[in-house]
Amino acid sequence: DGGITQSPKYLFRKEGQNVTLSCEQNLNHDAMYWYRQDPGQGLRLIYYSQIVNDFQKGDIAEGYSVSREKKESFPLTVTSAQKNPTAFYLCASSNLAGDLYNEQFFGPGTRLTVL
């Protein structure tokens, strides 16, 4: 089955620690995205990538880093510089193919809690 997988589903971290969230897709999509979701705030874009070895900051990139070494993988690192990292993190992908309106497909999410 094609889709997006995120792991782990739940993640606990101590303050001051970096943590990496995994996102893998087997849809052969060009673009991948990371969003952060907080209650009452909708989804906010952290980083996105259109092609391998290239990515752009979204609206709330501070305290986060990403890499795109393979087309199917787009891991997100939450660093100790992120002031309030407790949130639900969603990964998505889309097939650009020159179309503006290609839908984004979402993974099941990772809930990160800082203890």
Partner 1 sequence: AQSVTQLGSHVSVSEGALVLLRCNYSSSVPPYLFWYVQYPNQGLQLLLKYTTGATLVKGINGFEAEFKKSETSFHLTKPSAHMSDAAEYFCAVSEVTGGGNKLTFGTGTQLKVEL
The first and second tokens of residue 35, run together, are: 């969003």
Nearest Cα to Cα of residue 78 among 18, 34, 31: 18
The first and second tokens of residue 83, run together, are: 């002031």
Vertex 38, ends 55 and 93: CA angle to 5°?
35
What distance in Å separates the CA atoms of residue 93 and residue 53, rounded to the nearest whole number?
Answer: 16
Q: With contacts defined by CB under 8 A, name the span among 16-24, 42-50, 60-68, 71-79 that binds partner 1.
A: 42-50
Q: Does 30 bind partner 1 (CB under 8 A)?
A: yes
Q: Figure out which of the listed residues 19, 36, 48, 78 binds partner 1, where binding follows CB under 8 A.
A: 48
Q: Does 99 bind partner 1 (CB under 8 A)?
A: yes
Q: Does 42 bind partner 1 (CB under 8 A)?
A: yes
Residues of this chain that bind partner 1 (CB under 8 A): 4, 30-31, 40-45, 48-50, 54-56, 58, 88, 90, 92, 94, 96, 99-109, 111
